[in-house]
Structure 1
Amino acid sequence: MTEPPASGVPAPPFPGGAVIELDGVILRYGAHVAVRGASLRLAPGAIHAIVGENGAGKSTLLKLAAGVLAPDAGAVRVDGAPLQPATPAEAARRGVGMVHQHFMLVGSFLALENVVLGCEPTRGGGRLDLAAARARAGALMRAAGLSIPLDAATSALTVGERQKLEILRVLYRGARAILLDEPTAVLSPIEADGLYATLRRLAREGRTVAVVTHRLDEVIRFADHVTVMRRGQVALSRPAAGRSAEAGGDGAEGELTRAIMGGEPPPRVERPPLGEGAPAALEVAGLTLTGAGGRRLLDGVTLTVRAGEIAGVAGVEGNGQRELVRALAGLEPRAAGRVAVGGVDLSSWDIRARRARLGVVHEDRHAEGVLLGASVGDNLVLGDLGELPRGARGRDAEAALVARRIARFGVEPPDPSRLAGELSGGNQQKIVVARALDRVAPAAPGPGAATRAPRRAAAVLAQPTRGVDVGAAAVIHAAIAEAAAAGLAVLVISADLGELRRLCHRLFVMRKGRIVATLPPSCSDEEIGRAMLGLEAA
């Protein structure tokens, strides 16, 4: 059932939003200063957006406000009183709840069990009172405009429903201030709009709402106030609305981007022109994969990407995108169907054999892309050492390959001996994309030389700019466009529709393991979103 029937249980009385003040807070990780004397006030009745580059201190600031981290200096106050002790339990007791970027849910539990986990209501004899929990959760859902199937297994919920469940969890614990870290990173446009409708309703009730996001269009459309973090400091804090006319020719988004970067933003990357009659370079036909219990994870996926074309795959996360990338890379031996690059059937090839013709970036760089405890140089040549000469010539070739990839993709700092785990998320992502793209579309020798795409090659890039800032995204987008202009076929799987629109010549919409629509990048967000959710034929 989606929502309990009206039971006469009113929503708990709401005493008003919490005022959160961070006053000159400093947080250090060893020698690194993550937050440098930042001050911020979060007030009830408004949606407050916090933006900035990777490593700017955005999420750290929220964690300080929620008691997840304790400041080394400065003060955190809730309703004028210091947050002491600085713990999540004390913050929750004071009415502050945080929704983390990665869901903190137990997949095997029912949705209702996740709601009450840690604060279970009991009745006589200490027995769990799920009836009381259901009544309270239902009242809170009606008050907040949420719709969640409380009796469903959490693992069966959509990504959007799990995001709502996280919000319900903090409301159930009495949150008067709700802090959300990248809440729309994996949502469809329709789900993102629905989430902000819920947040607006909570703000109108008088709650305090703060959102960390990389999506500046969301800030402009939904936020009442925006704070820009740069290098651990507050660079700008002002009302978000009504400033486009003052912001110059490129409007409010350009103004925010300049504040984020401390200067002019990089030029926007445009998709390269696609030549007439370009041959098919990546062909996928009838690709299927069956999971546990006989569920079809991939259900006859068929698509073609031409040489020089950038094609996008849009879809609500969890509809087969991850399995598609793994099957194309050769990581799913149970997959059936045909995968060909340049007319050569790779279906029976193993991972190593495919690597020379198919550059792949997986969606989770920490799980499947970067060894955080290894050096930048070692990460940049993972999988390539077997192709280099042995001995001194091999060492020289390895050093040259590492130097080329660092320079081409602007990895910062440009030190191959640094541990990858010491780099920002954006620079870690540059390492992953550099390794995949440079392998199949290497730069020609010499400074400023153009990219050379070998014949019969393709790239599959999952979430290539997820969680990276404007500057790092521009570097990655430019590399993708350059590789396509040189003749590489590129398939981009992304939850960011703006990214897909700017880069791609065509968009495939994926739902329940199938390609359900093929659309031009000029179609509306609503049209894409409805196809993603299966609301109508696109």
Structure 2
Amino acid sequence: MTGPPASGASAPGVPGAVIELDGVSRRYGAHIAVRGASLRLAPGAIHAIVGENGAGKSTLLKLSAGVIAPDAGVVRVDGDPLRPATPAEAARRGVGMVHQHFMLIGSFRALENLVLGCEPVRRGGRLDLAVARARAGALMQAAGLSIPLDAVTSALTVGERQRLEILRVLYRGARAILLDEPTAVLSPLEADELYATLRRLAREGRTVAVVTHRLDEVVRFADHVTVMRRGQIALSRPAAGRRAETERDLTRAIMGGEPPPDVERPRLAEGAPAVLEVAGLTVDGAGGRRLLDGVTFAVRAGEIAGVAGVEGNGQRELVRALAGMEPGAAGRVAVGGVDVSSWDVRARRACLGVVHEDRHAEGLLPGASVGDNLVLGDLGDLPRGASGRAAEAALVARRVDRFRVEPPDPARLAGELSGGNQQKIVVARALDRIAPAAPAQGAPTRAPRRAAAILAQPTRGVDVGAAAVIHGAIAEAARAGLAILVISADLGELRRLCHRLLVMRQGRIVASLPPGCSDERIGRAMLGLEAA
């Protein structure tokens, strides 16, 4: 179906590109990602595209940006077909896309990434850095976006890298800006700042479309909303004047029915023993900067403890140090009463399930099959020969079914799945090997199998249904006796799941708070104004 023109299309300033999709379809093998979709993205408004994982949202955006070509139907920009359907042609026509996973070269400076592919050059083909810097400065001032141009990109914060990606498409003259999950890695404050930028660009007359799973953002910021379900557009309508529309209303439209109930927080047994114990954990970074500063806490059997804080305050280093990936880490880490501080990653894996914040870099092999990814690290525990192959197939089938991986095809390449379904794979590996975590009387000679789990951003980039599946698995693991540590930028998620909140600031745990405490109190702790 074709939605009506988004509100505010007559905004003055930069003339936005009108993108029209007319009956477009896209197939991957037997799977139809988008089926007969028709949509109009008009200038001057923020257009949100929502739906479950695998509903076709990202595919629709890639079709609009020429990243992929439709198998049927046509994509038009300003009334003319987008041919050839390539990113270069789309960029020439004024369409730019900011992908869910940053497309930046970490070793390059921010300025070099900004101009990469369209560098101003002097006579002889040499890069003209002075011109590049002048253009970048003018663009940042006009767009209201600021980044340190001389900083190495890998040293930028997540928010700065997101701004750099937007500046890159603007530098190339984008009149339509398409963003895939732009706030998935941002803190709430950074997300608000991003939408303020997008609103400013829309008011100038640009076309802005955002794929997101955060329905609160849709309610607060979108002028027009499109809901996709199983590759088709279920509805597309203006959001202006519909502010009474709630997240629950959108969830019903996305799921085609009532949303799943909230997962009940497991009851924490009185006197439950400590299973994950951390004392004086310290990590130093480049230049002697302290990334973790004497972190000390304990998580009991059956407890779900949450780590809250503005991203970049030591959360990533905490996960890596607990997983044994920071060889220079000092301090003590014990699991089930056994000191594992000297154990390497492989040894800790048996007793500690870990989900890292970047599933592509540290949790998934996109070029391997779904089945291979689901048993990564587990094959050594299976018998050999025919019985081992049967056990492996049964394990894969159980995890596909339990975590509702879509499509349920173990032979499919993991890189072809939606981000949410990739996340289910990573979480399945960490939580599916459930064993009682409470140690027996007296210290065991070795840590019990899968006694604790460290989950960084477990539902980042997943829809409401997938989040419910993951939250249910976390609660089930806690009921089975595991000690669970959840690190999340989503404060609502931590409140719903956790028995208590540990607030991190500048590499330290600065407060331990009940999940029902006020946002103001948590915010004060994040700012260092309230101690534990």
1:465 corresponds to: 459
Letter aligned with residue 475 of structure 2: A
Aligned CA distance change for structure 1 residues 417 and 519 (closer, same or farther; 3 Å):
same
What is the distance in 1 between the residues matched to 2:454 and 2:530?
A: 27
Match of 2:478 in 1: 484
| Number of equivalences | 510
Q: Which amino acid aligns with 1:43?
A: A
Is residue 345 from structure 1 mapped to residue 344 from structure 2 by the alignment? no
Q: Which moved more, 1:114-123 or 1:186-195?
A: 114-123
Does residue 501 of structure 1 match 2:495? Answer: yes
Partner in structure 2 of residue 185 of structure 1: 184
Distance 1:390 1:143, change over 3 A: closer
Distance 2:396 2:87 in 1: 43
Matches within 5 A, 1:174-323: 174-243=173-242, 245=244, 252-323=246-317
The Cα of 1:84 is off from its aligned counterpart by 2.4
In 2, distance between residues paired with 1:134 and 1:183?
25
**How does the TM-score come out when normalised to structure 1?**
0.85
Shift in Å at residue 473 of structure 1?
1.4
Aligned partners of 1:307 and 1:100: how far apart in 2? 40
Cα offset for 1:480?
Answer: 0.7
Give the Cα separation in 1 of the matches to 2:121 and 2:394.
Answer: 66
After the TM superposition, which of the residue ranges 370-379 and 169-178 deviates more from structure 2? 370-379
Q: Distance in 1 between matches of 2:381 and 2:257?
A: 42
Give the counterpart letter for 1:255 in structure 2: D
What is the distance in 2 between the residues matched to 1:528 and 1:367? 30
Q: Which residue among 354, 357, 368 is the counterpart of 1:360?
A: 354
Deviations 1:317-370 (A, max 9, x none): 444333322322233333221111233222233444433432222333344434
Residue 224 of structure 1 aligns with an amino acid whose one-letter code is D
1:141 aligns with 2:147: no
Q: What's the counterpart of residue 384 of structure 1?
A: 378
- Structure 1 residue matching 2:262: 3-state secondary structure: coil
- Given that residues 258 and 264 in structure 1 are in contact (C-alpha distance below 8 angstroms), is that contact kept between their aligned partners in structure 2? yes
- Between the aligned partners of 1:513 and 1:164, the Cα distance in structure 2 is 25
TM-score w.r.t. length of structure 2? 0.86
CA drift at 1:99: 1.3
2:509 aligns with: 515
Equivalents in 2 of 1:526, 1:203: separation in Å? 32
Matched AA of 2:160: E
- Taking the aligned partners of 2:30 and 2:394, their CA distance within structure 1 comes to 31
Structure 2 gap ranges (5+): 1-11, 438-447
**Alignment partners' CA distance in 2, 1:81 and 1:434:** 45
TM-aligned CA distance change 1:388 to 1:57, over 3 Å? closer
SS in 1 for 2:278: strand
Corresponding residue for 1:109?
Answer: 108
Q: Given that residues 360 and 460 in structure 1 are in contact (C-alpha distance below 8 angstroms), is that contact kept between their aligned partners in structure 2?
A: yes
Deviation of 1:176 after TM superposition, in Å, equals 1.5
Alignment of structure 1 residues 10-21 onto 2, 5 Å: 14-21=13-20
Taking a change above 3 Å as real, the CA distance of residues 27 and 393 of structure 1, as seen in their structure-2 partners, is closer
Distance, in Å, in 2 between the alignment partners of 1:394 and 1:76 is: 49
**Structure 1 counterpart of 2:359, which letter?**
R
Cα gap change, 1:279 to 1:152, in 2 (>3 Å): same
- Please, which of 404, 419, 429 is the counterpart of residue 423 of structure 2? 429
Following the alignment from structure 2 to structure 1, what is the Cα–Cα distance between the partners of residues 209 and 102?
17
Q: SS state of the match for residue 460, structure 2?
A: coil
Matched residue, 1:34:
33
Partner-residue secondary structure (3-state), 1:439? coil
In the TM superposition, what whole-angstrom CA distance separates every residue of 1:134-181 from its partner, at most 9, and x where no partner exists?
A: 333333323322222223332222111121122222222222211111
**Greater shift after overlay, 380-389 or 159-168?**
380-389
Change (3 A) 1:144 1:314: same
AA of the residue aligned to 1:188: S
CA, structure 1 residues 386+309, in 2 after alignment: closer, same or farther (shift >3 Å)?
A: same
Question: Counterpart of 2:137 in 1: which secondary structure?
Answer: helix
| CA deviation after TM superposition for structure 1 residue 33, in Å | 2.1
Does the alignment pair 1:336 with 2:343?
no
SS at match of 1:507: strand
Where does 1:62-81 land on structure 2 (aligned, <5 Å)? Answer: 62-81=61-80
1:2-57, CA deviations, whole angstroms, 9 ceiling, x for partnerless residues? xxxxxxxxxxx944222111111122223332211111111111100111112211
Task: Give 1:241 deviation, angstroms.
Answer: 4.1
| 2:42 aligned with 1:48 | no
1:440 paired residue number: 434
2:246 & 2:290 partners in 1: Cα distance?
44
Is the 1:185–1:495 contact (alpha carbons within 8 Å) kept by the matching residues of 2? no
> Helix, strand or coil: the match of 2:432?
helix
Q: Residues 436 and 481 of structure 2 are in contact (CA less than 8 Å); yes or no, is this contact kept in structure 1? A: no
Q: State the alpha-carbon separation in 2 of the partners of residues 107 and 514 from structure 1.
A: 27
Per-residue deviation, 1:423: 4.8
1:121 pairs with 2:115 = no
Measured in 1, the distance between the counterparts of 2:154 and 2:365 equals 28
Say whether the 8 Å CA contact 1:181–1:212 is kept in structure 2: yes
Q: Give the partner amino acid of 2:153.
A: T
Deviation at 1:393, TM superposition (A): 6.1
- Identity in percent: 87
Distance 1:392 1:93 in 2: 56
Shifted more, 360-369 versus 42-51: the winner is 360-369
Counterpart contact for 1:359–1:440, Cα < 8 Å: no
The whole-number CA distance in structure 1 between the counterparts of 2:345 and 2:129 is 49
Structure 1 unaligned blocks of 5 or more: 1-12, 246-250, 444-453
Q: 1:372 to 1:87 in 2, by over 3 A?
A: closer
Q: What CA distance in whole angstroms lies between the structure 1 residues aligned with 2:393 and 2:118?
A: 55
State the shift of 1:215 in Å.
0.7
Match of 1:9 in 2: none
Q: Counterpart of 2:253 in structure 1: which amino acid? A: A
Equivalent-residue separation in structure 1 for 2:231 and 2:19 (angstroms): 19
Question: 1: distance between equivalents of 2:205 and 2:29?
Answer: 39
CA shift, 1:183, in A, is 0.8
Cα 1:428/1:210, change in 2 over 3 Å: closer
Q: Describe the SS at the equivalent of 1:49.
A: strand
Give 1:264's aligned amino acid.
E
2:100 maps to amino acid: Q
Task: Check the 8 A contact 2:370/2:411 in 1, yes or no.
Answer: yes
> Match for 2:171: what amino acid?
Y
- Partner amino acid, structure 2, of 1:305: V
TM-aligned CA distance change 1:125 to 1:31, over 3 Å: same
CA contact (8 A) 2:503 2:509 kept: yes
Secondary structure, in 3 states, of the residue corresponding to 2:246? helix
Alpha carbons 2:434, 2:480 under 8 Å: kept: no
* Cα distance in 2 for residues equivalent to 1:404 and 1:108: 41
Cα separation, partners in 2 of 1:90 and 1:507, compared to 1, 3 Å = same
Deviations 1:60-106 (A, max 9, x none): 11112122222222222222222222222222222222111122223
